[in-house]
């Protein structure tokens, strides 16, 4: 798996570079520069997506084990940074989230169980998000040749969520923990010690509460929907405003394609290709679509390196504290 993610990273970066060469790197860069410093507002427009995501995740805990809202936010931020910057197939970030909550006082078994259930919730929310895009494709004027592919993506996500639920109900968390330990060669994983049987029991308990899963999915769906404003603002700042419905169409379908390609860290190249493909439906030329996609990556440059540095600081403080003790 680790080798596959490394290969995926090389292929994704190769695709991204190829698309930039195809359209002309300087032309795309000029589109970005013409917008001036206003594009730096995009990360601020994106930040609110963490709020419903954190609240939805907190629903997947017992009241006596629930992390504070700020701890959930910080764990999501640092976990996202790991998933985006390191070749860990989106598993490493989940390991880090469980690790951080265990450090901050949540029982390790509860943290692991909530992370696994939240992964299923994310797949369910993304399937609903993809369905939104497919419905918009069907009702907005224009070509509908993409609809079968959108439906295929929805089915893939639903089967993925169903597979996760079945595996977790069968008590496979211990096996998944071993897989994560092999994939994430980091001392932090050794600190996430818990009884696999206890964690499996807690996962089954979570799935027994359909109300909590439903509301957690709705919060995650709200988080995905908030991405739309960042895209709408990016198009406005780049000089080609679009409607809210067009922004919803673009954001939902490009996000679905990017998330399906989880083996490629941060969907490098895949996101850009998706924007070129879907952007054509709303009148974008390939160069403009590339500029939009790259403008949305400004937040990665702003927040992800800082997330990794903060994670390192947390681990360093804990290391020095334990050595003093």
Q: pLDDT tens across 225-276, in order?
A: 999 999 999 999 999 999 999 999 999 889 888 887 777 888 889 999 999 9
Q: What confidence tier does 138 reach under pLDDT thresholds 50, 70, 90?
A: confident
Q: Record the tokens describing residue 229, joined without a space.
A: 């404003």
Q: 291, 32 in Cβ contact below 8 A? A: yes
- At residue 320, the pLDDT reads 66
- pLDDT at residue 292 tops 90: yes
Q: Which has the minimum average pLDDT: 104-118, 169-183, 218-232, 251-265?
A: 169-183
**Which range of residues forms the domain containing residue 132?**
2-311
| Mean pLDDT confidence for 302-323 | 83
**Buried b or exposed e, range 141-163, using 16+ CB within 10 angstroms:** eeeeebeeebeebbeebbebbee
**What's the pTM value of the predicted model, to 2 decimals?**
0.85
Flag whether 228 is in a domain. yes
Which residues have C-beta within 8 Å of that of residue 278, sequence separation ≥ 6?
146, 249, 250, 253, 254, 257
Q: What is the DSSP letter of 67?
A: P
Distance CA 254, CA 21 (A): 21
| Predicted pLDDT at 183 | 46
Residue 10 confidence (pLDDT) above 90: no
Q: Judge whether 192 lies within some domain.
A: yes
**Cβ neighbour number for residue 211 with a 10 Å cutoff:** 8
Which of the two residues, 320 and 294, has the higher pLDDT score?
294
Q: What is the pLDDT of residue 77?
A: 95
pLDDT at 105: 87
With 70 as the cut, is the pLDDT of residue 191 above it? no
Q: Contact at 8 Å (CB) between 142 and 281?
A: yes
Domain count, the chain: 1
The rounded percent of the chain whose pLDDT value lies above 70 is: 81
Interhelix angle 25-34/286-296, rounded to 10 degrees, is 60
pLDDT at 209: 83
Greatest Cα pair distance in the chain = 67
- Assigned domain for 280 exists: yes
Closest by alpha carbon to 314, among 79, 141, 14?
79
In the prediction, which pLDDT does 146 show?
65
Question: Distance (Å, rounded) from C-alpha 255 to C-alpha 274?
Answer: 8
Distance CA 226, CA 248 (A): 10
pLDDT value for 149? 65
The predicted structure's pLDDT at residue 143: 57
Q: CA 4 to CA 96: how far, in whole Å?
A: 20
pLDDT for 134 equals 81
Write phi, then psi, for 106 (nearest 5 degrees).
Answer: -80, 140
* pLDDT given for residue 205 in this prediction: 84
Domain annotation covers residue 323: no
By the 8 A CB rule, do 313 and 77 touch?
no
Q: Is residue 147 in some structural domain?
A: yes
Which tens digit of pLDDT belongs to each residue from 32-91?
888 888 888 899 999 999 999 999 999 999 888 899 999 999 999 999 999 888 877 677
Q: Is residue 134 part of a domain?
A: yes
Rounded to an integer, what distance in angstroms lies between the CA atom of residue 59 and that of residue 213?
Answer: 8
The yes-or-no verdict on residue 189 having pLDDT over 50 is: no
């Amino acid at each position: 798996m680790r080798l596959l993610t490394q290969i995926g990273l090389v292929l994704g970066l190769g695709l991204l570079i190829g698309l930039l060469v195809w359209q002309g790197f300087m032309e795309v860069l000029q589109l970005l520069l013409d917008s001036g410093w206003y594009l730096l507002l995009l990360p601020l427009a994106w930040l609110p997506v963490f709020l419903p995501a954190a609240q939805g995740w907190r629903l997947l805990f017992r009241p006596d084990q629930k992390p504070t809202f700020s701890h959930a936010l910080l764990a999501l931020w640092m976990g996202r940074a790991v998933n985006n910057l390191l070749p860990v197939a989106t598993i490493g970030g989940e390991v880090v989230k469980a690790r951080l909550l265990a450090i901050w006082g949540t029982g390790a078994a509860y943290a692991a169980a909530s992370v696994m259930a939240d992964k299923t919730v994310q797949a369910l929310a993304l399937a609903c998000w993809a369905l939104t895009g497919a419905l918009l494709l069907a009702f907005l004027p224009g070509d509908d040749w993409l609809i079968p592919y959108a439906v295929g993506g929805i089915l893939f996500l639903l089967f993925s969520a169903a597979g996760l639920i079945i595996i977790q109900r069968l008590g496979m968390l211990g096996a998944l923990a071993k897989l994560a330990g092999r994939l994430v060669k980091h001392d932090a994983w050794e600190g996430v010690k818990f009884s696999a049987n206890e964690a499996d029991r807690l996962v089954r308990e979570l799935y027994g509460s359909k109300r909590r899963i439903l509301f957690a999915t709705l919060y995650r769906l709200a988080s995905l929907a908030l991405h739309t404003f960042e895209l709408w603002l990016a198009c406005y700042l780049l000089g080609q405003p679009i409607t809210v419905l067009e922004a919803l169409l673009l954001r939902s379908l490009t996000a679905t394609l990017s998330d399906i390609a989880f083996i490629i860290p941060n969907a490098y190249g895949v996101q850009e290709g998706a924007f070129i493909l879907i952007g054509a439906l709303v009148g974008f030329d390939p160069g403009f679509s590339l500029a939009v996609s790259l403008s949305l990556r400004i937040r990665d440059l702003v927040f992800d390196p800082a997330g990794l540095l903060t994670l390192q600081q947390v681990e360093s403080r804990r290391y020095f504290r334990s050595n003093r003790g």
